[in-house]
Amino acid sequence: MKANFFKLDVVKKDTETLVRTYRIPLVLVSLLMGFLLFIMNIFLGISFQGQNFNDQMKSKLGVYIYLKDGKSQQQQAVQLKTELESKVLKVNYTSKEDALKFVERRVEDLTKTLKKYNLENPMPSTLYINYAGADQFTEMKQILEKNKDAIINMNDLSDNVVKTQEKRVLNIINLSNVLQSFGYLIVGLMGISVLVFAVFFLQAMFEHFKKDVQAKKLLGASTKQIAQPFLRVIFLSLGMAFVLAVLLLISASLGIETYLASVFNFSLVNAIADVVFEILAVGVVEIIVMMLILMGVSYWQVIKKSDFIRVYPLESDFSFFEGDFF
């Protein structure tokens, strides 16, 4: 058996043999790993959004300030808003007219009813003030104290307000953190499960072709060269699993978007797209890490199956082994 015989694409031929032999297990393992990757990435997306949710909840600390009617009401509101914003407080101003329009969305014909009975707009101008913790609440209260004559609900601004709100927000954030940690735990378990299935599948192939591995090692093939067909098959399986997971993820995202649009009449397509892209980016990293681990397992299997061989390869008769897969 000289070099001319071995110039055939042995790696390609061996890969085709592996695929034919394990075509059904290959499909089943790929489907299973694809489903596990899909579940893993769903929880990964939920965990990613946990921190954004916590940040949003912290911004929910706020109070409504109702202003008294008066000729200079709007001027007072603008002045108060400017002073509050100078302390890095976020302030939203709603005029009497806008407040009435907002209420009328829920109570039909409210304006007509008021006109019918010659009633004026009962809604006050409103400032909604966001604050971040007790320190900003104290600064806000000091400013409002100076303008208390223009404020209807000054008595509502007690220290208990900030304590009650902070407690509620903190409870929600703590629950979010627990769910976030649980999500990362599921991600870890799913990732390990995918890797375990891939390793078992790889080991099964090596065990089935143990004699072939030993024969090629005896003929002088390197560990890397023998491992190439096995790696091609397992990488094919991971690739199929990843594509399946992506398709399931996109389908689920489209389903959620369609449901929200039909039931609640609003769209989160941009937010969902951002989450999907984040998951896909991390998913690529996951696959690369798994491939590197499986390369190590594959090389170890070759060494393990042929560790009894103590033969040095001949130099000229086995040039077919020189073609590297990587």
pLDDT at position 263, please? 65
pLDDT in tens, 165-219: 777 777 877 887 888 888 889 988 988 999 898 888 888 888 888 888 888 877 7
Q: Compute and round to an integer the Cα radius of gyration of the chain.
A: 33
Task: Report H helices in the chain.
Answer: 10-21, 23-58, 73-85, 96-104, 110-116, 134-146, 159-208, 210-218, 223-263, 269-305
pLDDT at position 260, please? 66
- Lookup result for tokens 């397509």: 269
Structure tokens at 239: 């690739």
- Lookup result for tokens 């099964």: 204
pLDDT at position 266, please? 57
pLDDT in tens, 243-263: 998 888 888 877 877 776 676
C-alpha–C-alpha distance, residues 147 and 80, integer Å: 8
User: In residues, how long is the chain?
Assistant: 326
C-alpha–C-alpha distance, residues 257 and 281, integer Å: 21
Q: What is the mean pLDDT of the chain?
A: 78
Local structure of residue 90 (DSSP, 8 states): E
Q: Please state which CATH class domain 62-162 belongs to.
A: alpha beta
- pTM value surpassing 0.85: no
**HSE of 9, CA atoms in CB hemisphere, 13 A:** 7
Work out the average pLDDT over 90-100.
Answer: 87
The span from the first CA to the last CA of the chain, in angstroms, equals 26
Strands 90-94 vs 62-67: parallel, antiparallel or unpaired: unpaired
pLDDT in tens, 5-58: 343 467 788 888 888 888 898 899 999 999 998 898 888 888 877 767 777 776
C-alpha–C-alpha distance, residues 61 and 163, integer Å: 10
SS3 of 141-209: the string is: HHHHHHCHHHECCHHHCCHHHHHHHHHHHHHHHHHHHHHHHHHHHHHHHHHHHHHHHHHHHHHHHHHHC
For the four alpha carbons of 289, 245, 325 and 24, in that order, the dihedral sign comes to positive
Q: Where are the domains of the chain?
A: 5-57+170-322, 62-162
User: Cα 262–268–274 angle (5° rounding)?
Assistant: 145
- Is 288 a residue whose pLDDT tops 60? yes
- Is 72 a residue whose pLDDT tops 90? no
